[in-house]
């Protein structure tokens, strides 16, 4: 299920708290890039620590909202789990690909 505009606002609150407490390098732009429009090559090598979206919706919601990180710390995992109050959307904190050091963190 897509994230509504209200859910995107909740996600941004969580991203901002993660930035404040665990990952100060996290790049949180007011309007994330839409990764669904990228080339396959760029999708294979996404930017690290930048909030991104997938498939922007007409109500300013997103199908997915996330960021990538290399080898996330246990502290980041615990803080994300602690802050994750979004209901109705599945959170993700998993390897991006089997043969990669990148992890994807956010909601689908």
Q: State yes or no: pLDDT of 1 exceeds 80.
A: no
Confidence of residue 101 (pLDDT cuts 50, 70, 90): very high
DSSP string, 15-55: HHHHHHHT-TT-B--SS-EEGGGS-HHHHHSPPSSB-EEEE
Closest CA to 2 of 49, 95, 85, 11: 11
**Can you tell me the mean pLDDT for 5-34?**
96
pTM: 0.94
Half-sphere exposure for 33 (CA within 13 Å, toward CB): 14
For residues 43 and 64, give the distance between their C-alpha atoms in angstroms, rounded to a whole number.
14
Q: Phi and psi for 63 in degrees, rounded to 5? A: -65, -45
Contact 93, 73 (CB under 8 A): no
**What are the tokens at 15?**
């991203």
């Amino acid at each position: 299920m897509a994230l509504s505009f209200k859910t995107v606002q909740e996600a941004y609150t969580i991203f901002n708290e993660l930035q404040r407490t665990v990952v100060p390098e996290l790049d949180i732009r007011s309007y994330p890039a839409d990764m669904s429009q990228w080339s396959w090559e760029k999708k294979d090598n996404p930017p690290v620590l930048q909030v991104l979206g997938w498939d922007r919706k007409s109500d300013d919601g997103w199908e997915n909202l996330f960021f990538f990180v290399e080898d996330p710390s246990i502290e980041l995992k615990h803080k994300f789990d602690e802050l994750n109050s979004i209901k109705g959307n599945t959170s993700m904190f998993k390897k991006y690909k089997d043969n990669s050091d990148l992890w994807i963190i956010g909601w689908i």
